[in-house]
Amino acid sequence: MNKHRRRPLATISMFGITYLQRQNPYLIAWWSAVYPGFGHYMLNQYFRATLLTLSEVTTNTVSHINQAIVFSFCGQFEMAKAVLKKEWLLGYCAIYFFAIWDSYRSTLVHNKLCELAEFENEQLPCIILHPNEIQYLEQRKPWLAALYSFFFPCLGIFYNQRWALAFYGIGWWWVYLLLSHAHVSLMNLLLGNIEASISVLDPQWLLFMPSVMGGAIYYSFMTVIAHNRLYRLEQRQHLLKRYRNSKLRIFS
């Protein structure tokens, strides 16, 4: 572990497990299109992904993109044009498409790096003890992560031990819930007050929610699968090393 590892496949920090993984570049590009930054989360590039999501939520809100999308889909094109703030539009588009392109391009590079790391087969870490945290590779159930993220997005990420990202997401989900009044609307819907349930909603904030929920479910599901594979690989490396001097003979 102390020896310098040139091409490691994964590393463990107090924030969780960071790893290289083969992924489909089109899917990563799609998640970037769903919400700029999500593609980079799937690539384990957490800081830049977080900055991209912050940039997205700010510029989308000040330029009223989500409201314009709702008006456009409902056929009210004049309203859509009126509500958009032109000062922000071109810059928003530039960053939006850059995020898609950059995550696509990075996936291609990561896939190559991942292959090299696999051939290198450096010993994987399995646990770290940090004064404030314990992080380790562990086998988990992917569907459980998806289910938690469905009930409250980012709980599945907490299940994956990426606690800082989980709390960042949980905080934002509360913001979306409060500003879009989605839970109030849901309760009205369940009580049968359909008109009230529609009129209470704020489209600008509501439209962030399907993307965030879908992204959180997908990300937590895929992360469990990746962690399970890393766990298996680490155990294989360990067992082969520990029992390589076996003198057991099956035949005399």
Footprint on this chain of another protein (rule: CB under 8 A): 9, 20-22, 24, 27, 30-31, 34, 69-70, 72-75, 114, 118-119, 121, 138-139, 142, 146, 182, 185-186, 189, 194, 197-198, 201, 203, 206-207, 209-211, 213-215, 217-218, 221-222, 225-226, 229-233, 235-236, 238-240, 242-243, 245-252
* Minimum separation from the CB atom of position 239 to another protein (A): 5
Given a contact cutoff of 8 angstroms between Cβ atoms, the answer to whether 14 and 133 are in contact is: yes
The DSSP code for 153 is T
* Minimum separation from the CB atom of position 57 to another protein (A): 15
Residue 165 or 201: the one with the smaller Cβ distance to another protein is 201
* Minimum separation from the CB atom of position 232 to another protein (A): 4
* 10-13 and 16-19 beta bridge pairing: antiparallel
Burial (CB count within 10 angstroms: exposed 0-12, middle 13-18, buried 19+), residue 211: middle
Residue 31 or 96: the one with the smaller Cβ distance to another protein is 31
Residue 164 or 235: the one with the smaller Cβ distance to another protein is 235
* Minimum separation from the CB atom of position 142 to another protein (A): 7
Residue 164 or 228: the one with the smaller Cβ distance to another protein is 228
Residue 52 or 213: the one with the smaller Cβ distance to another protein is 213
The rounded radius of gyration (Å) of the Cα atoms in the chain is: 22
Partners of residue 16 on adjacent β-strands: 13
Rounded CA-CA distance 95/92 in Å is 5
Residue among 20, 40, 41 at smallest CA distance from 112:
20
Residue 164 or 209: the one with the smaller Cβ distance to another protein is 209
* Minimum separation from the CB atom of position 30 to another protein (A): 5
Residue 38 or 158: the one with the smaller Cβ distance to another protein is 38
Given a contact cutoff of 8 angstroms between Cβ atoms, the answer to whether 146 and 221 are in contact is: yes
Given a contact cutoff of 8 angstroms between Cβ atoms, the answer to whether 88 and 62 are in contact is: yes
Q: What is the number of other CB atoms lying within 10 angstroms of the CB of residue 240? A: 9
* Minimum separation from the CB atom of position 132 to another protein (A): 23
Alpha carbon 65 to chain centroid, angstroms: 22
Given a contact cutoff of 8 angstroms between Cβ atoms, the answer to whether 165 and 41 are in contact is: yes
Rounded CA-CA distance 187/99 in Å is 36
* Minimum separation from the CB atom of position 229 to another protein (A): 5
